Amino acid sequence: MVKTVTFSVFRYDPEKDTRPYYKDYRVELRRPGMMVLDGLNQIRWEQDGTLAFRRSCREGVCGSDGLNINGVNMLACITHIEELKEPIVVQPLPSMPVIKDLVVDFTDFYAKYYLVKPYLITKTPPPSDRERLQSPEDRKKLDGLYECILCACCSTSCPSFWADPNYLGPAALLKAWRFIADTRDEGADERLEIINDRDGAWRCHTILNCVEACPKQLNPTEAIAELKKAIIHRKF
């Protein structure tokens, strides 16, 4: 007999429901190593076609299926069902407006991301005969910063982000440090100007939920600490 597990899934259709509710589904573990996303696919394909959730690459690269699973933000596609306690409670990312079921609105998240100018800013022209080169050592400084997939697991795990609608959040701040730490970049001043704000780096209270949540094992708290140090070094 195939083993089954219970998924308790957050459901909310703003056009039909006055308030969200949780619906239980039984998911069959048909092969070893099934991920939460496999379970959600099974529900949608075989039991309830109305369940809405985002997914794309199903291997932790695209960052589409960031969800709150058993109280922790993670990617459904790289979370083993068998490692979770039953019932597996699947909720949308906290504090984001729900569009339907597990699909949330990322508008605010992206707006904050663009605020920190997440692109290379240069003032000096590039060498005429080749691209802007970087030494392997300088390139190594970006390890642990550039891998962010913008799944929003970190920002939506942060109590400061929940409480302060204007806080830039760990994802945007990590990206800001990724460019400030880049030896080819010359936009540190304009970025730090934006980040040196009560809704910027200083809103981080080092709760470390972002580090616990990041599915790529990055460290936004450390990046924010670097930003705080950079702001202070610039002033004195």
Partner 1 sequence: MKKVVFQPKVRYKLHPGYLAWILHRATGILLGVYLFLHIWVIHHLSQGEEAFNEVMAVVQSPLFHLLEIGLLATVVYHGLNGLRVVFIDYGNLAKRDMMRKVVYAVLAVSAILVVAGAVPMFRLAFGL
Binding-site ranges for partner 1 (CB under 8 A)? 10, 12, 14, 19-20, 68, 70-72, 91-98, 105, 157, 159, 162, 205-209, 211-212, 217, 219, 221-222, 225, 228-229
Residue with smaller CB distance to partner 1, 98 or 148? 98
Residue with smaller CB distance to partner 1, 134 or 196? 196
Helix (H) or strand (E) holding 28: strand 21-29
Cis omega (within 30 of 0) for bond into 87: yes
Residue with smaller CB distance to partner 1, 64 or 157? 157
Is residue 169 a contact partner of residue 94, using CB atoms and an 8 Å limit?
no
Smallest distance from the beta carbon of 17 to partner 1, in angstroms? Answer: 9
Tell whether the torsion through CA atoms of 224, 230, 235 and 236 is positive or negative.
positive
Strands (E), 48-127: 66-69, 72-75, 88-91, 98-100, 103-104
Smallest distance from the beta carbon of 43 to partner 1, in angstroms? Answer: 19
Residue with smaller CB distance to partner 1, 112 or 228? 228
Smallest distance from the beta carbon of 235 to partner 1, in angstroms? Answer: 14
Is residue 231 a contact partner of residue 177, using CB atoms and an 8 Å limit?
no
